[in-house]
């Protein structure tokens, strides 16, 4: 006799039959009938019509029957609220029953009846049960408070149940404590602001005691609760860690991971010199490894968390590479995660092993996995420099297999390797070109085209190769089209004589026949660039690209720190803060790692023990390059954005202009100087079309150099550095000034959020000239919504130095009570010109001769109708001093000197032709022992002279 018999009655009038049976006098028949009802309910049949009949069976001493009726009630009370009232009396009576099992059962079921009318009747019985003598009843009642809160939060607060619940944290029974904590945590989640779980050292002690004695599930609740506590000093943190460590040996993986969370978080407060710190690190590895021998679903969650842990503290698992090796019958989601961690752990010491494994994976069956394995080889090459050569040869081996998707992935990663190690592995290009025809995925095609364009001068038939792609231009994806456009322009600049037709063709394809605005705009920019100033075009298009690094795959440090606080939760599985996905944003409190506070040294002198949620000064001060801030219009290449160097024509390369001249003339044809053919106007030609081309161009470049270097006067007008949308309502604009020997950063802070902002602080990343704030950021009053404050932050140049790219890049972190924000800006170099920069005449001559000619850089400052006197004065006020002046054949030559804050001298020769109004261009030659500054000095000249 099995329960399946309950499903067999499919006759007509089933409900009617059941009704009769439920009202039967025979106990046995009644029970069977209720069982049938429940069975129908479990498979989703609607048996709510039997409500009154089932409730009638509730008055019984048969425990099973009672339980079955309760099951039914919980399911249908919501749909029959009026009927449900009938059950209230029985509940109240059962709560007084001498048997604690019945009392607990009644209070449990009561809470599951989600009917408003009933809840009021339940308050009194619940209050009694919360104080019941039997802990089994108390722990059940604790959960009931959470249930009731879910139905009617106000009622629970009014009745004072929350306080009773808080008292239960000090209960003598560990299970009651655990359930009280669980209930409070759940309630707190819907009340992020309330201080429900206000923990102090006494309550922490209670929890730690209960931790040892309660069930595994209770341990999880308690550990998760402990993780929210902020110990007052490192001694307390250590003692909590010591008591939590035994949980790492628990059989329940959720307990283990929650314990890991507590330890990872409190470890932050321990000094690294402490012996205990080392012990703790050692203890963390084995449990994490053990998690990987569990079922695949557990492994997956564990791996996502380990991914965070190895980024935060790579030392924990650095010797455990082998446990992440992939077994061929692992589920795909486990394989991909293992691979990711293998790359994170890859180092010079283990790279040989890792590569051998990756090569093995590349021959597996699963396509997704194989692709990722091939990519992983590329990432290894970028991460571990010593291994690059082996990686490249492994990739070549894989290309030889001719498996289509392997070849394509290999080409994509080889492109990245070229970006990391330019001019090292180009010998493989020939092999790559052989596989050109087999590429059918856009990303691989784009990568191959990039390679051809970038190394056009080394590939004999580059033009043929690119031409072959051009045939099906319109069928290609945007990615490939953009890449093809850039590659052909590169090719043209490298081999102008043979490729005019090709470039003409691609430009017209891009500008006239395409609906894609990105492609069209890029086409126009190239067109204008080529037609106006081929030399500039060359410098822009063929500019040296910044190297890429493996950092791009890492989680940003502040996010990582936040995620460490969420180990074991969904947030850690998605690698996103809960605010990014928890519904309605309720229950979202930003968590952060505790700052390191040493009890021994500075417990008294640091008054601001950073509160939860406020990142501390200990936070890593390296900020990731915020590439998007540079508003890079001419994003010429794949991968990280390239900052386009401003337009600059060097007379050294003037010869090239002549060479290009002929080609360009024919390219431009009869259209007047660079304006695209008239037909284009249909395709939204730029509005500035009629304006002088040069000004159009400088407009363009004003855009590219974006963040306020070249604009404005001696003191550039403030530009927006940090838009409100990126900084949770805080908008920062500013500029740099230099007055009587002191540099300052003039800032304007605007609060565009709805809440008051306080606790401002600022920090600079290391930069090329050691710029650093000389005083803290003083915002005297809290910044209320829509208020703006202007202030001037004095700077000095004694900070730590690190060469930046570009040289005048400054990365800034600003903190307030809401969060930490990062931005980067470019400062004009002239704020660094010091007052004693005038060099003695003799000295000037000697130095000029002394600096080798290769260090001389020549620039043109266009459209600057100034006379010699005015120019000299303008420059002098910015600490560029005229040492001597000479006039030759209607040209004035100014010899000038300036000195940077770090003691670098720059010597200049400025040629002005005041006699000839048609020649308004100035010519500038700069000589300096550190030639990399010349470019920026030139920019400073231009800024000063034009304003």
> Is the peptide bond between 806 and the residue preceding it cis, with omega within 30 degrees of 0?
yes
179 versus 750: smaller Cβ distance to other proteins = 179
Query: DSSP states of 358-404 as a string?
Result: HHHHTTSS-HHHHHHHHHHHHHHHHH-GGGHHHHHHHHHHHHHT--H
- HEC letters along 32-72: HHHHHHHHHHHCCCCCHHHHHHHHHCCCCCCHHHHHHHHHH
Which of 6, 277, 473, 714 lies at the binding interface for other proteins (CB under 8 A)? 6
Does 112 bind other proteins (CB under 8 A)? Our answer is yes
Q: Is the CB of 2 or the CB of 877 nearer to other proteins?
A: 2
Binding residue for other proteins (CB under 8 A) from 146, 184, 343, 875?
146
Of the two residues 492 and 566, which places its CB atom closer to other proteins in the complex?
566
* 94 binds other proteins, rule: CB under 8 A: no
Inter-CA distances, 155 with 117, 151, 158, Å: 12, 9, 5
The nearest distance, CB 177 to other proteins, in angstroms, is 13
In the bound state with other proteins, the residue whose beta carbon lies nearer, of 150 and 702, is 150
The values of phi and psi at residue 608, to 5°, are: -95, 85
User: Among residues 410 and 907, whose Cβ is nearest to other proteins?
Assistant: 410
Nearer residue to other proteins within complex by CB, 66 or 494 = 66
The reply on whether position 582 binds other proteins by CB under 8 A is yes
Residues 508-567 binding other proteins (CB under 8 A) are none
CB nearer to other proteins: pick between 4 and 916:
4
Question: Which of 101, 274, 652, 703 lies at the binding interface for other proteins (CB under 8 A)?
Answer: 101
Instruction: Pick between residue 83 and residue 633 the one whose CB is nearest to other proteins.
Output: 83
Q: Decide: is 383 part of the binding site for other proteins (CB under 8 A).
A: no
Could you say whether residue 276 binds other proteins (CB under 8 A)?
Answer: no
Q: Please choose, out of 120-128, 216-224, 753-761, 858-866, the segment that lies near other proteins by the rule CB under 8 A.
A: 216-224
Q: What are phi and psi of 815, to 5 degrees?
A: -115, 145
Contacts of other proteins in 718-757 (CB under 8 A): none
> How many CB atoms sit inside 10 A of residue 12's CB?
7
127 binds other proteins (CB under 8 A): no
For residue 526, the SS3 value is helix
Q: What x/- string results for residues 587 through 606 when contact with other proteins is judged by CB under 8 A? A: x-------------------
The region of 62-70, 537-545, 646-654, 657-665 touching other proteins under the rule CB under 8 A is 62-70
Residue 287 makes contact with other proteins by CB under 8 A: yes
Q: Which of these ranges, 117-125, 213-221, 739-747, 939-947, lies near other proteins under the rule CB under 8 A? A: 213-221
Show the beta-strand stretches assigned E in 513-564.
Answer: none
Give CB contacts under 8 A, 24+ apart, made by 157-160. 159/123, 159/127
Q: What is the CA radius of gyration of the chain?
A: 37
Give the shortest CB-157-to-other proteins separation in angstroms: 19
688, 698 Cβ separation under 8 angstroms: no
Considering only residues 344 through 373, tell me which ones interact with other proteins, judged by CB under 8 A.
Answer: 357, 360, 363-365
Angstrom distance (rounded) from CA 111 to CA 103: 13
Backbone angles phi, psi at 205, to 5 degrees: -65, -40
Q: Which of 60, 75, 438, 626 binds other proteins (CB under 8 A)?
A: 75
Span of 581-589, 841-849, 862-870, 934-942 interacting with other proteins by CB under 8 A: 581-589
- Does 111 contact other proteins by CB under 8 A? yes
| Among positions 408, 569, 750, 751, the unique one binding other proteins when judged by CB under 8 A | 569
Closest C-alpha to 260, from 232, 294, 301 = 301
- CA dist 149 and 152 (Å) reads 5
Please report how close the Cβ of residue 39 comes to other proteins at its closest, in angstroms: 5
The one segment of 12-20, 97-105, 814-822, 825-833 that binds other proteins by CB under 8 A: 97-105
Quick one: which of 256, 382, 685, 818 contacts other proteins (CB under 8 A)? Answer: 256
CB of 704 to other proteins, least distance (A): 40
Segment near other proteins (CB under 8 A), from 281-289, 382-390, 444-452, 496-504? 281-289
3-state secondary structure of 722: strand
Closest listed residue to residue 822, CA positions, set 752, 722, 730, 733: 722
421 makes contact with other proteins (CB under 8 A): no
Exactly one of 280, 571, 629, 660 binds other proteins (CB under 8 A); that residue is: 571
Q: In DSSP terms, which residues pair with 120 in a beta bridge? A: none
Number of residues that bind other proteins (CB under 8 A): 104
Among residues 343 and 403, whose Cβ is nearest to other proteins?
403
Q: Closest approach of Cβ 218 to other proteins, in Å?
A: 8
Residues 6+ apart with CB under 8 A from 18: 33, 36, 37, 47, 50, 53
Q: What is the full DSSP assignment across 117-164?
A: HHHHHHHHHHHHHHT-SSHHHHHHHHHHHHHHHHH-HHHHHHTTHHHH
Nearest approach in angstroms of CB 139 to other proteins is: 9
Determine if 776 is a binding residue for other proteins (CB under 8 A).
no
Q: For residue 328, state whether it binds other proteins (rule: CB under 8 A).
A: yes
Instruction: Work out whether 637 is an interface residue with other proteins (CB under 8 A).
Output: no
Decide if residue 793 touches other proteins (CB under 8 A): no
CB of 635 to other proteins, least distance (A): 32
CA-to-CA distance for 585 and 580, rounded, in angstroms?
Answer: 8
Choice from 24, 52, 78, 802 touching other proteins (CB under 8 A): 78
d(CA 206, CA 167): 12
**d(C-alpha 642, C-alpha 280), whole Å:** 44
Q: Of the candidates 300, 455, 881, 941, which one interacts with other proteins according to CB under 8 A?
A: 300
Three-state SS annotation for 680-702: HHHHCCCHHHHCCHHHHHHHHHH
Site for other proteins contains 215 (CB under 8 A): yes
For the bound state, the minimum distance from the C-beta of residue 376 to other proteins, rounded and expressed in Å, comes to 17
The closest alpha carbon to 854, from 939, 769, 932, belongs to: 932
Q: Considering only residues 14 through 43, tell me which ones interact with other proteins, judged by CB under 8 A.
A: 27-28, 31, 35, 38-39, 42-43
Residue choice 90, 119, 159, 179 for contact with other proteins (CB under 8 A): 179
Taking the chain, what is the end-to-end CA distance rounded to the nearest angstrom?
Answer: 98
> Of the two residues 401 and 516, which places its CB atom closer to other proteins in the complex?
401
User: Which value, to the nearest 10 degrees, does the dihedral of the CA atoms of residues 228, 233, 237, 239 take?
Assistant: -130
CB of 210 to other proteins, least distance (A): 13
Return d(Cα 179, Cα 184) in angstroms, integer.
8
Dist. CA 102–CA 395, nearest whole Å: 70
Question: Under a CB-based contact definition with an 8 Å cutoff, are residues 749 and 720 in contact?
Answer: no
315 binding other proteins? (CB under 8 A) = no
Interacting residues with other proteins between 158 and 177 (CB under 8 A)? 173, 175
Minimum Å gap between C-beta 242 and other proteins is: 11
Among 58, 77, 169, 182, binds other proteins (CB under 8 A): 182
Instruction: Give the C-alpha separation, 929 to 931, whole Å.
Output: 6
Judged by CB under 8 A, does residue 253 bind other proteins? yes
Q: Which residues within the stretch 390-409 sit at the binding site for other proteins (CB under 8 A)?
A: 401, 403
Among the listed residues 192, 296, 655, 865, the single contact to other proteins using CB under 8 A? 296
Q: Check: CB of residue 707 under 8 Å from CB of residue 825.
A: yes
Beta-carbon count within 10 A of 630 CB: 22
Residue 224 touches other proteins, criterion: CB under 8 A: yes
């Amino acid at each position: 006799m099995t329960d399946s018999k309950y499903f067999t009655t499919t006759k007509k009038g089933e409900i009617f039959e059941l009704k009769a049976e439920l009202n039967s006098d025979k106990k046995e028949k009644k029970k069977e009938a209720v069982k049938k009802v429940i069975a129908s309910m479990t498979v989703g049949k609607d048996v709510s019509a039997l409500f009154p009949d089932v409730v009638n069976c509730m008055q019984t001493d048969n425990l099973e029957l009672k339980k079955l009726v309760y099951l039914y009630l919980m399911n249908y009370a919501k749909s029959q609220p009026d009927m449900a009232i009938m059950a209230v009396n029985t509940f109240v009576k059962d709560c007084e029953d001498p048997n604690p099992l019945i009392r607990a059962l009644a209070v449990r079921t009561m809470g599951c009846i989600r009917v408003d009318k009933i809840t009021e009747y339940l308050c009194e019985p619940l209050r009694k049960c919360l104080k019941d003598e039997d802990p089994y009843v108390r722990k059940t009642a604790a959960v009931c408070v959470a249930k009731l809160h879910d139905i009617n939060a106000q009622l629970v607060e009014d009745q004072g149940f929350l306080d009773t619940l808080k008292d239960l944290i000090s209960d003598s029974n560990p299970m009651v404590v655990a359930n009280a904590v669980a209930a409070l945590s759940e309630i707190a989640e819907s009340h992020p602001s309330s201080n429900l779980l206000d923990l102090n050292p006494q309550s922490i002690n209670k929890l730690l005691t209960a931790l040892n004695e309660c069930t595994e599930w209770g341990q999880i609740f308690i550990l998760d609760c402990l993780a929210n506590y902020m110990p007052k000093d490192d001694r307390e943190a250590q003692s909590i860690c010591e008591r939590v460590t035994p949980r790492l040996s628990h059989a329940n993986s959720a307990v283990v991971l929650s314990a890991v969370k507590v330890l990872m978080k409190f470890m932050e407060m321990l000094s690294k010199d402490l012996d205990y710190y080392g012990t703790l690190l050692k203890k963390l590895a084995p449990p994490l490894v053990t998690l990987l021998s569990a079922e695949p679903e557990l492994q997956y969650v564990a791996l996502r968390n380990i991914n965070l842990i190895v980024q935060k503290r790579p030392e924990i698992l650095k010797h455990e590479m082998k446990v992440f090796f992939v077994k061929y019958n692992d589920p795909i989601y486990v394989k991909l995660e293992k691979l990711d961690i293998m790359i994170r752990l890859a180092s010079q010491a283990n790279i040989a092993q890792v590569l051998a494994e990756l090569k093995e994976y590349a021959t597996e069956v699963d396509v997704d996995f194989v692709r990722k394995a091939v990519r992983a080889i590329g990432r290894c090459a970028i991460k571990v420099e010593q291994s690059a050569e082996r990686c490249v040869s492994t990739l070549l081996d894989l290309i030889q297999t001719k498996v289509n998707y392997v070849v394509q992935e290999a080409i994509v990663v080889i492109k990245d390797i070229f970006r990391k190690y330019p001019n090292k592995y180009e010998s493989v290009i020939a092999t790559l070109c052989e596989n050109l025809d087999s590429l059918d995925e856009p990303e691989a095609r784009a990568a191959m085209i990039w390679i051809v364009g970038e190394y056009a001068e080394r590939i004999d038939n580059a033009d043929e190769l690119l031409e072959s792609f051009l045939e099906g231009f319109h069928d290609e994806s945007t990615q490939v089209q953009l890449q093809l456009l850039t590659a052909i322009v590169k090719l043209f600049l490298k081999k102008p004589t043979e490729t005019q037709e090709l470039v003409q063709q691609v430009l017209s394809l891009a500008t006239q026949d395409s609906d894609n605005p990105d492609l069209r705009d890029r086409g126009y920019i190239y067109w204008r660039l080529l037609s106006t100033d081929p030399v500039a075009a060359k410098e822009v298009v063929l500019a040296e690209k910044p190297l890429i690094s493996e950092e791009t795959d890492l989680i940003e440090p502040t996010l990582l720190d936040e995620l460490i606080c969420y180990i074991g939760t969904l947030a850690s599985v998605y690698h996103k803060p809960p605010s990014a996905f928890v519904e309605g944003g309720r229950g979202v409190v930003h968590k952060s790692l505790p700052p390191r506070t040493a009890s021994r040294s500075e417990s008294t002198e640091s008054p601001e023990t950073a509160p939860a949620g406020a990142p501390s000064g200990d936070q890593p001060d390296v900020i990731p390059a915020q590439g998007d801030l540079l508003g890079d219009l001419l994003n010429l290449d794949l991968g990280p954005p390239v900052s386009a160097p401003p337009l600059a024509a060097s007379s050294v390369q003037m010869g090239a202009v002549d060479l290009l001249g002929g080609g360009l003339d024919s390219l431009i044809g009869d259209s007047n100087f660079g304006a695209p053919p008239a037909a284009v106007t249909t395709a939204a030609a730029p509005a500035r079309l009629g304006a002088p081309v040069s000004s159009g161009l400088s407009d363009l470049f004003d855009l590219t150099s974006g963040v306020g270097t070249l604009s404005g006067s001696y003191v550039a007008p403030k530009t927006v550095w940090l838009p409100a949308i990126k900084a949770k309502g805080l908008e920062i604009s500013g500029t740099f000034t230099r007055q009587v020997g002191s540099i300052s950063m003039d800032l304007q802070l605007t609060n565009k959020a709805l809440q008051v902002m306080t606790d401002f602080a600022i920090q600079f990343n290391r930069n090329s000239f050691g710029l650093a704030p000389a005083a803290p950021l003083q915002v005297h009053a809290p910044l209320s919504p829509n208020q703006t404050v202007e202030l001037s932050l004095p700077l000095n140049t004694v900070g730590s130095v690190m060469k930046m790219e570009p040289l005048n890049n400054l990365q800034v972190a600003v903190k307030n009570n809401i969060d930490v924000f990062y931005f980067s800006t470019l400062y004009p170099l002239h704020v660094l010109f010091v007052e004693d920069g005038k060099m003695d005449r003799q000295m000037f001559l000697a130095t000029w001769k002394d600096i080798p000619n290769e260090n001389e850089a020549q620039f043109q400052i266009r459209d600057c109708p100034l006379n010699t006197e005015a120019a000299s004065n303008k420059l002098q006020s910015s600490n560029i001093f005229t040492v001597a002046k000479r006039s030759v054949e209607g040209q004035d030559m100014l010899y000038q000197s300036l000195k940077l804050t770090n003691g670098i001298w720059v010597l200049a020769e400025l040629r002005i032709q005041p006699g000839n109004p048609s020649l308004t261009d100035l010519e500038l030659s700069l000589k300096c022992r550190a030639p990399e500054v010349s470019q920026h000095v030139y920019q400073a000249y231009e800024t000063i002279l034009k304003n």
